[in-house]
Amino acid sequence: MAADARRGTTAATYDSRLRKFDQWCRPRQILLPAASVTQIAEFLLSLFGEGKQVSTIRNYRSAIAAIHQGFPDGSTLSNNPYIAQLIKGMANRRPQIRRLAPSWGLSAVLHALAGPPYEPMANASLAALTKKTLFLVAVASARRRSCLHALSTKQNHIRFEGHGVRMVPDPSFIAKNQTLTFLPGDIFIPEIKTMSSVAEDKRWCPVRALKWYLNKTEKLRQSTSLFIIPRPPYAAASKDTLSRWLVEIIRPLFRNGLMRKEEGPEGGSGHRGRTVLFIYQDFIGTVE
C-alpha cells in the first residue's frame, strides 16, 4: 500500500536507482537497508566520479532512503548531516547549469496551424489532426504534459456543453505535487466563437479540433486515452510522445526562420494577427 503512494514513473526511477546501488553493494557484501553512512557516501561519490549531476545523485539518495533502516545515531539518509554536507560540496564543485529555452511566438504557431497540412480539417491526415488538437488543447487548458496524457474518452470524462467542452483526467492521475486533500478539478475550454465573431477564427478553436479528432478516431482507437498514436494499432500515446508532437509543430518555424515575435496568424504583423493572439491569451485566463 505504501508503495502505491508513489507515481508509476517515480517507482520505476527508484527501482532503477536501487538496482545500481545493489550492483555496487553485492561485491562488497553490503546489505542495502543497513548500509553505513561511510558506505553510502562512498557510493554517492562514485556517482559523482561518473559525472552524474547533483540532482541525479539526490534522486539516488531518495531512492535508497525509501528502503534504508536509518543509522545508529537516529538520523536517516534524508536528514543525516554528513550526507547533506557531502551533497552540498558536490553542488559547489559541479553547479547546475541553467540554459534558456528558445523563445517562440504563439502567433506564428497559430498561423502555421491555419494552413496545410492542418487545414482544411476534412483533408488533414490523422497525424496532423492529432498534433493540432493536442497543441490547441494544451495552450487553451494551460495544463502540464502529465495532465494532457491523463485525459480520457471514458464515459463522463468529456462533455460538450453549450459554449465549450468540459474534461476530467482519468481518476488514476496524480497531479505534480498533489496533496492527499486536493483533487485536480475538471477543465472547461470555451469555444473561440464566444470571444470572436470572425468566421475564420474557427481554425484556432480547440473545441472544433477536438470534435473533429474524436469523430475521426472513434472507430480506430484501441485505448480510452484521448490522444492515440495515429497509426495501427492506434495505442495510447505516451507522455514523451505528446512532448515530441508539440516540439514537431514548433521546430519547423525555427528552421524556416519564421519564429518572430511580431509575426501574426495572417503571416505579418497586422491587426488580425494580434487580435487572435489576444483571444488565446484570454483563453488561458478563462479556463476553469
Q: What is the CATH number of the domain that holds 138?
A: 1.10.443
- In this structure, is residue 18 part of a structural domain? yes
Minimum mean pLDDT range among 1-5, 140-144, 241-245:
1-5
CATH (domain of 26): 1.10.150.130
In this structure, are 16 and 114 located in the same domain?
A: no
What's CA 126's distance to the chain center, in Å? 22
**Do 86 and 206 fall within a single domain?**
no
Same domain as 237, residue 181: yes
**C-alpha–C-alpha distance, residues 237 and 126, integer Å:** 13
Structural domain span for residue 269 = 106-286
Residue 49 lies in a domain: yes
For residues 154 and 84, membership in a common domain is answered with no
Domain boundary at 62, 93, 124, which?
Answer: 93
Burial of 276 (0-12, 13-18, 19+ CB in 10 A): buried
Last residue of a domain, one of 65, 93, 121: 93
Residues in the chain: 288
pLDDT for position 128:
96
Segment (H or E) for 139: helix 126-141
Give percent of the chain above pLDDT 90.
57
- Tell me if residue 188 falls in helix, strand or coil: strand
**Which tens digits make up the pLDDT trace of 3-44?**
455 566 678 888 999 999 999 999 999 999 999 999 999 999
In this predicted structure, the answer to whether residue 272 has a pLDDT above a threshold of 80 is: no
Same domain, 74 and 213: no
Q: Is the residue at 136 inside a domain?
A: yes
Number of domains present in the structure of the chain: 2
Measure the CA–CA gap between 226 and 206, rounded to whole angstroms: 14
Alpha-carbon span 43 to 20, nearest angstrom: 10
154 & 261 share domain: yes
In this prediction, residue 104 has a pLDDT band, given cuts at 50, 70 and 90, of low
Is 173 within the bounds of a domain?
yes
pLDDT tens-digit map of 65-99: 999 999 999 999 999 999 999 999 999 999 887 77
98 occurs within a structural domain:
no
pLDDT tens by residue, 42-60: 999 999 999 999 999 999 9
Domain match, 110 and 36 both: no
Query: Residue 108: its pLDDT value, please?
Result: 82
